[in-house]
Amino acid sequence: MKYLFSIIAIILLGGLAQIFLPWWSLVVVAFLVAYLFRLNAWQGFLSGFIGIFLLWGGYAFYLNQANEGILASRMGDLFSLPSGSISLLIVSALIGGLIGGLAAATGGLGRQLYND
């Protein structure tokens, strides 16, 4: 249950932090959520990955729909990605997911370091 709550907390707090702070603030959010929820390294990685993947993927999809996919399809063509805009959205979400997952895994390992 705490695993599901940690994903929701990462999505909500990460989205709120992204409004007011730079993009890397989600690293601090994922770290703190994994630390405070007492997740181990794998639980932390998965919750951080899923939370930030959904956050960045959802926001990229929203922005793509707002401009009718013009920018994402042009960027996908520029980077020679297959199927243009969809590939770019997935790549963006994967990069965010990896950053969030590694940050949350570090938070889980940090908790184990100081408690053991």
pLDDT reported for residue 84:
67
Measure the CA–CA gap between 72 and 12, rounded to whole angstroms.
25
Question: Is 104 within 8 Å of 31 (Cβ atoms)?
Answer: yes
More confident residue, 86 or 17: 17
Measure the CA–CA gap between 82 and 84, rounded to whole angstroms.
6
> Could you give the 3-state DSSP secondary structure of residue 108?
helix
Q: What is the pLDDT of residues 4-20, one digit of tens each?
A: 999 999 999 999 999 99
More confident residue, 54 or 83: 54
Question: Is 54 within 8 Å of 14 (Cβ atoms)?
Answer: no
Q: What is the pLDDT of residues 33-62, one digit of tens each?
A: 999 998 988 999 999 999 999 999 999 899
Measure the CA–CA gap between 12 and 112, rounded to whole angstroms.
25
pLDDT reported for residue 72:
79
- Nearest to 108, CA basis, from 21, 53, 39: 39
More confident residue, 110 or 77: 110
